[in-house]
Structure 1
Amino acid sequence: MDLNKHTNATTLLEKHFDIAFAAPDGIKKLRELILSLAMQGKLVPQDPSDQPASELLKEIEAEKERLIKEGKIKKSQPLPEIKPDEIPYDLPNSWEWVRIEQLVSKIGSGSTPRGGKDAYEIEGIPFLRSQNIWNNEIRLDDVAFISEETHRKMIATKVISMDILLNITGASLGRCAIVPDDFAEANVSQHVTIIRCVNPEIRRFIHCLLLSPYGQSMIWSRQVGMSREGLSKKVLEQFQIPLPPLAEQRRLIAKIDELMARCDELERLRSDRDRKQITVHNSALNRLIIAKDQSDFNTAWQFITQHFSELYSVKENVTELRKAILQLAVMGKLVPQDPNDQPASELLKEIEKEKERLVKEGKIKKSQPLPKIKLDEVPYNLPTSWEWTNLQDLFAVVTDGDHQAPPKVDDGIPFLVIGNLNTGKVTWENCRFVPHDYYESIDWGRKPSKNDILYTVTGSYGIPIFIDSNRKFCVQRHVAILKSVESSPTEYITHLLKSKYAFNYATSVATGIAQKTVPLSGLRRMPIAVPPMNEQHRIVAKIDQLMALCDNIEKQIDTANSKQTNLLNAVMTKV
């Protein structure tokens, strides 16, 4: 390789570190670039005094012949020569393109012990599965064990030190680790293949190659199987490997280790920076929420405005800001109170009158009054014009969908389940349908309509959906229906149900272990901070304004990140 070309590549690579630090996935791309340069012979200069790779290959072939004669390995089938159209890029003169099978004494996956999981023991010989194999390390925190007897029966799957272990199926396809020199005995499952190099010294280079973009592209593009991705032994054996001289491999590995250590340091610095930003921001938001008076509130807000660009350079902080906006709203701290507003107590009286009218019309049954909310039950103090009340008191009825399995038809009235609602909006695609006469038989209170609120109560619980459409539909029993009257503060309550306070309350009353459910009795008792109606309008308008601001901040973050990524990509193409 031309020394000037190598120097230019190294210089540009050095410049990448600052740019990579700023780009969202810059450090990941930098690691990929380091390995790509290494596999192309561009990371370190070639030394004309190095013994060429062709000689290394002869030594490996001679050693394989010796192992075959001694009966330690079997002679493999002849491999096809590497054709010119199989060569993805040119190599330095001292390198060689070879099949990976030419370099190894073993390529083979493991197997499942007889009896499957029933064969696992509390202790014994480690049985390595795909979840134990990670890039650069073997993790034993979730390792299974097999007995000595099972281990002896599975001798073909035995792992020894310096083996390369490669995941060959599933989502972890391509994860790759080297067995440490001091590793004791182990076996592997059928989802892991063992690659054992004839010359153990080349294992580090082969490992880096398999982790490189070139190696990963071979692994992912040549997988087989319809139901679950997989990499067959026959395909793996024929991988084309760029083989450098052994002396250059040593220099390459030393350089890779040096540069990867710098990447590790960059990741640590970025993690520390982001953690500090998030910690400082959360502390500032907490000061807003617990502010005892307007002076404390103004001081906390002034800190945020002074450091706005720093605090909102990460999306995690924007997410927390959204939560804080809702929390401040339900505590009466988002907009000022107006002494001319009709107090919330008058609104509650109006709702009660409308509910009494529905009882007389036979649309709903008179509900049992819930106990008044006591002072020791309220989570925070409210402005004097606000009132604490139960959620049930704000709606005609708080109920859920039909408990019986409805009849199905190809076309009719939509029947919505949790999956149609768990994004926070109604998704009509792929919904079921019920007959029109079935829909008409449902009680008025169980027919959601415009200005009602749906609220998921099972599994993905705690998601409110405001209904702004006149479209007819019904819901399953895992969805609560907050049936409104004309005076019900539905827009404000929708925002309140999205708040951290409401979610924490729902979590506190939820029952079940595998799948949590918010019982209707607990939902009806949720203490609600009710503002005067005029203040509700101001709160909703302010929330909408601030959420739009959050949307813009996230767009700005995406734009800034995109610019940094484009800059990094532009520089990387020059290497």
Structure 2
Amino acid sequence: MTFHNASLVSDNLDIWTTATEQKSGGRGGRRRVDLYGIQRLRPLIVDLAVRGKLTSQQPGDQPAILALAKLAKARQSKIESGQARKPKALEPLPLDLPPLPEGWAWTQLGTIAEINPLNSAADKLDASFVPMALISTRIDGAHGAEIRKWGEIRKGFTQFAEGDIGLAKITPCFENGKAAIFENLINGIGAGTTELHVARPWSADVNRRYLLLTMKTTSYLKNGEAKMTGTAGQKRLTRAYFESTPLSLPPLEEQERIVAKVDELMALCDALETQSVVALDAHQTLAEALLAALPTSTDAADLAIHGARLEANFDTLFNTEASVDALRQTILELAVRGKLVPQQADDEPASVMMRAIRESRSDGSSKQKSHDAIPRADEPFDLPKGWCWERFDNLIDPAFPIAYGVLVPGADQSDGVPFVRIGDLSINNPLPLPEKAISPTVDAQFPRTRLRGGEILMGVVGSIGKLGVAPASWAGGNIARAICRIVPSSLLNKEFILWLLQSRFMQDSFLDDTRTLAQPTLNIRLIRLAATPVPPFAEQERIVAKLDELMALCDSLQRGIAEASATKMKLADTIVERATEQVR
């Protein structure tokens, strides 16, 4: 591996562009892909640049010590003329600092710049106001601004002027690299958030962009984080760190070359990032387009043609976690449309099973009445022979109607009744007990949703459609208002109903019926009336068996993708570590 100049990028291009980290984009959404390799490359470029490893030293450059002398002269002149206050003595530079490239010199920000300077202007003058929200983490120190009267902002805020450098001092803004070079200020002056340290170079004998880069290095941010003071959530970078940290200063000409090189390489990173995102999006679009043809196939021959096309390109199409997610949903869509397993002529039709469920509702033991059949014109798509359309409520055990839970749970009770909230829901890995518990008095008001274990639970407020299954250990517990309980009839295969509820068809129908109040809310009545495809019981069992088999294969695919991704991320880390070690 080569760690020199632009070859740092080009020699390891495959690692930077293919080392990605998959993150969930939320229920129903695509996974978010972080371009991990490029994210690691950007700070490495800055770290190497301020150590003189990305630019060459030129014999004609004036040594930094001469620039320091000019800065010291400008400082003395401004202090003597009353334009600046005499600063306090800085902490001395350590004696064991490493050697620098020829022409460079060690200094401190407090030596070459006035720290936290003040402005003088008329109160009626327009000025720029910069709150923390308008300070970016960009490498060029870009920021936004509002227009205020100077008299409104000169007290109670941090002052700065054109060309000053501001660094966020409060957590997490400092750790995130929020910093700015204040430019294009109204009348050349401004003020803003109190959570800033400001530096105003004594003269133009130092490049402000270079100084900003030194505040963006990994070591500066990590060392500063370790020395922050204050309580959690309110930690701040000390002024002493800001003004006294050793700063390696190149000749002014080399500072300018360093800034230009960083801009060049960051532009290359931007281009790589754009290309990678476009390629990933195109890949996902292609995979989804080919998959979308499967559920809508007109007949078995059409399905076979589309399936063969996918099989021929399987390794190319399904090599990202997002594409495997799309494959999972397509498998579910095939299942709920009757295209995943073959129909058997001797299967008892679903209508016979549904008749038995309706009869159980009309024997006088249940108040739950069956809903009328779905009109042919309202059927979402054609079903295979033996299947039927039903309102979802017709599939429910009449003894346990669909219901949501506790409206006002009250304070947590350490020894109370287990209380299931939407964050507790999980199909495969629920906690032994929910994190929260409610008082028995509150629980007693909602006996209808007291759990026995084994119920399907679904989010109806906020995370609409999020699913879980109550384990036996939750028996006796209760559920939140944001959750509804679903208990399918014993004449149905519960696992099929659970898979059905995970399908895009059912999830989309729920989202379409969602109302947006303080949070998205799904009315229980709309769940009950949802049009639902129902296969014969025997086919339900075959579908569940096939889904278990195919989803296990998808799990295996995603494990392999995750392992490959972890390997590439480790390679990116290794390149960064070795590059950093070679320049220490």
The answer to whether TM tops 0.5 is: yes
- Stretches of structure 2 that go unaligned for 5 or more consecutive residues are 21-35, 120-125
CA shift digits 1:273-296 (9 cap, x unpaired): 111101111211222232222233
8 Å contact from structure 2 (residues 130, 191) kept in 1: yes
Say which of 207, 210, 215 aligns to 2:212: 207
User: How does the TM-score come out when normalised to structure 2?
Assistant: 0.85
Measure, in 2, the Cα distance between the counterparts of 1:144 and 1:491: 58
1:466 aligns with 2:469: yes
SS of aligned partner of 1:229: coil
SS of aligned partner of 1:172: coil
Say which of 523, 530, 537 aligns to 2:534: 530
Distance apart, 1:299 and its partner CA: 2.6
Alignment of 1:44-193 (within 5 A): 44-84=55-95, 87=97, 89-107=98-116, 126-134=128-136, 135=138, 136=140, 138=142, 140=144, 145-147=147-149, 149-151=151-153, 153-154=154-155, 157-173=158-174, 174-179=176-181, 181-184=183-186, 186-193=190-197
Q: Which amino acid is the alignment partner of residue 383 of structure 1?
A: P
Q: Which amino acid is the alignment partner of residue 291 of structure 1?
A: S
Say which of 503, 507, 511 aligns to 1:499: 503
Which residue does 1:374 correspond to in 2?
Answer: 375
Which residue does 1:22 correspond to in 2?
Answer: 18
8 Å contact from structure 1 (residues 385, 531) kept in 2: yes
Measure, in 1, the Cα distance between the counterparts of 2:416 and 2:179: 56
- The verdict on how the C-alpha distance between 1:310 and 1:373 changes in structure 2, with shifts beyond 3 A counting, is same
Distance apart, 1:162 and its partner CA: 2.6
- Stretches of structure 1 that go unaligned for 5 or more consecutive residues are 1-5, 111-123
Larger mean CA deviation between 544-553 and 385-394 belongs to 544-553
8 Å contact from structure 1 (residues 218, 239) kept in 2: no
SS of aligned partner of 2:248: strand
Equivalenced residues, count = 546
Alignment of 1:265-414 (within 5 A): 265-356=271-362, 359-360=364-365, 365-396=366-397, 397-403=401-407, 405=409, 409-414=413-418
Measure, in 2, the Cα distance between the counterparts of 1:293 and 1:195: 72
- The verdict on how the C-alpha distance between 1:352 and 1:370 changes in structure 2, with shifts beyond 3 A counting, is closer
Measure, in 2, the Cα distance between the counterparts of 1:287 and 1:191: 55
8 Å contact from structure 2 (residues 293, 306) kept in 1: yes
Q: Which amino acid is the alignment partner of residue 331 of structure 2?
A: I
8 Å contact from structure 1 (residues 129, 191) kept in 2: no
Q: Which amino acid is the alignment partner of residue 387 of structure 1?
A: C
Which residue does 1:220 correspond to in 2?
Answer: 225
Distance apart, 1:471 and its partner CA: 4.5
8 Å contact from structure 1 (residues 109, 194) kept in 2: no
Distance apart, 1:425 and its partner CA: 5.0
Measure, in 1, the Cα distance between the counterparts of 2:336 and 2:535: 8
SS of aligned partner of 2:354: helix
CA shift digits 1:443-465 (9 cap, x unpaired): 4x523334421112112221122
8 Å contact from structure 1 (residues 420, 428) kept in 2: no
Distance apart, 1:406 and its partner CA: 7.0
Larger mean CA deviation between 487-496 and 398-407 belongs to 398-407
User: How does the TM-score come out when normalised to structure 1?
Assistant: 0.86
Q: Which amino acid is the alignment partner of residue 235 of structure 1?
A: Y
- The verdict on how the C-alpha distance between 1:156 and 1:389 changes in structure 2, with shifts beyond 3 A counting, is closer
Distance apart, 1:126 and its partner CA: 4.7
Measure, in 1, the Cα distance between the counterparts of 2:151 and 2:348: 82
8 Å contact from structure 1 (residues 160, 179) kept in 2: no
CA shift digits 1:137-174 (9 cap, x unpaired): 5354xx655345414x3497444333323232243324
Distance apart, 1:566 and its partner CA: 3.2
CA-based RMSD of the aligned residues comes to: 3.0
Measure, in 2, the Cα distance between the counterparts of 1:518 and 1:10: 54
Query: Which protein has the bigger helix share?
Result: 1
Measure, in 2, the Cα distance between the counterparts of 1:300 and 1:498: 24
Say which of 439, 449, 452 aligns to 2:452: 449
Distance apart, 1:77 and its partner CA: 0.5
Measure, in 2, the Cα distance between the counterparts of 1:144 and 1:10: 39
Measure, in 1, the Cα distance between the counterparts of 2:16 and 2:118: 37
- The verdict on how the C-alpha distance between 1:553 and 1:239 changes in structure 2, with shifts beyond 3 A counting, is same
Measure, in 2, the Cα distance between the counterparts of 1:128 and 1:371: 63
- The verdict on how the C-alpha distance between 1:471 and 1:266 changes in structure 2, with shifts beyond 3 A counting, is closer
